[in-house]
């Protein structure tokens, strides 16, 4: 991790959302013997002094109280127990103090209302579950609420949508700290695909098509194996046995983004892995990932990742181990 304490504090409270709490514990608290570098340290922090019961009466015991938050580099806020209940002032003060000291804050689902109550989202872009975005915008007009994305990374503060989007946001944070290859290894151990891009839609109302020919998974997998080629809408539509117009509509319904944006995301993701796990030059990576020129690759990579390819390799290439690479195969 870069200039951040590796202690991750996950909040627990009476009325806890167990699934979202479990996401954070699984990703940040589980031992990772497959890696030969220091992983996160983890602590469960009690918000309430009395018994903390989650759904269905499960009782949760914490490792520490709010007094440990000054030493945390990252604080995870699962969905809050009641959006109409103001969070306790000691919690809000602790979060404000942690933010001022540089800690990173990540909310899952309605946990965003805790950050909003603390005033830590004023003037920032944020998201939450699509059922709550209108309420969040109405109650906290100083926040720029984005209702259509999985998560928003504002740098020091990350907010995510519904429960499963919390997995994507947490994996995104792992990627920030350790690179794409390590994040993919963690995803593999979770038996899931690598985390989705934050800009993807969080809710698609169209039901899954019944006819097998309308299933785009085969086309997406084929495209991932042919990223070095100059793929076109015409090619992809033909593979899907659809007209271009129908394909564009169904693709956007299925992924929440256009084919062009999806291909760019996949090419950048592949480039990240190559920078971390190989000694290929930027020119070679650009060609293998389907960029028309190395200059175009560098511009796209910097725009998406925030670093030049060479700097990204300097930051994350040294973290690759044989066990981590094997975990992503």
Known catalytic residues are 109
Q: How far apart are CA 15 and CA 216, in angstroms?
A: 40
Alpha carbon 77 to chain centroid, angstroms: 14
Q: Which two tokens stand for residue 304?
A: 């998406």
Q: What is the 3-state secondary structure (H, E, C) of the chain?
A: CCCCCCEEEEEECCCCCHHHHHHHHHHHHCCCCCCCCCCCEEEEEECCCCCEECHHHCEECCCECHHHHHHCCEEEECCCCCCCCCCCHHHHHHHHHHHHCCCEEEECHHHHHHHHHCCCCCCCEECCCCCCHHHHHHHCCCCEECCCCCEEECCCEEEECCHHHHHHHHHHHHHHHHCHHHHHHHHHHCCCCCCCCCCCCCCCCCCCCCCHHHCCHHHHHHHHCCCCCCCCHHHHHHHCCCCHHHHHHHHHHHHCCCHHHHHHHHHHHHHHHHHHHCCCCHHHHHHHCCCCCHHHHHHHHHHHHCCCHHHHHHHHHHHCCHHHHHHCC
């Amino acid at each position: 991790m870069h200039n951040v304490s590796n202690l991750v504090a996950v909040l627990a409270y009476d009325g806890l959302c167990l699934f979202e709490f479990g996401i954070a514990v699984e990703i940040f608290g589980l031992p990772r013997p497959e890696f030969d570098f220091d992983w996160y340290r983890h602590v469960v922090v009690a918000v309430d002094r009395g018994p903390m019961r989650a759904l269905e009466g499960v009782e949760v015991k914490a490792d520490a109280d709010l007094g440990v938050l000054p030493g945390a580099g990252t604080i995870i806020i699962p969905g809050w127990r009641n959006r109409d209940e103001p969070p306790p002032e000691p919690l809000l003060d602790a979060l404000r103090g942690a933010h001022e000291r540089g800690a990173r804050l990540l909310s899952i689902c309605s946990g965003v209302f805790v950050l909003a109550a603390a005033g830590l989202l004023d003037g920032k872009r944020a998201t939450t579950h699509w059922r709550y975005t209108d309420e969040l915008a109405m109650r906290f007009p100083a926040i720029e609420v984005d209702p259509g994305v999985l998560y928003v990374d504002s740098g020091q503060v990350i907010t995510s949508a519904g429960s499963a989007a919390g997995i994507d946001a947490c994996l995104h944070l792992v990627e920030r700290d350790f690179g794409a290859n390590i994040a993919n290894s963690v995803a593999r151990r979770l038996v899931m695909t690598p985390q989705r891009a934050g800009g993807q839609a969080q809710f698609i109302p169209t039901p899954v098509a019944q006819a097998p020919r309308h299933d785009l998974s085969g086309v997406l997998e084929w495209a991932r194996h042919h990223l070095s080629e100059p793929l076109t809408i015409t090619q992809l539509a033909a593979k899907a046995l659809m007209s271009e117009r129908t394909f564009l509509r169904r693709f956007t319904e299925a992924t929440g983004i256009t084919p062009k944006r999806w291909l760019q995301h996949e090419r950048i993701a592949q480039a990240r892995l190559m920078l971390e796990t190989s000694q290929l030059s930027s020119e070679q990576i650009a060609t293998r990932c389907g960029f028309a020129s190395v200059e175009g690759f560098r511009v796209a990579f910097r725009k998406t990742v925030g670093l030049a390819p060479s700097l990204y390799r300097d930051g994350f290439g040294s973290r690759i181990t044989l066990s981590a690479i094997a975990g992503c195969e």
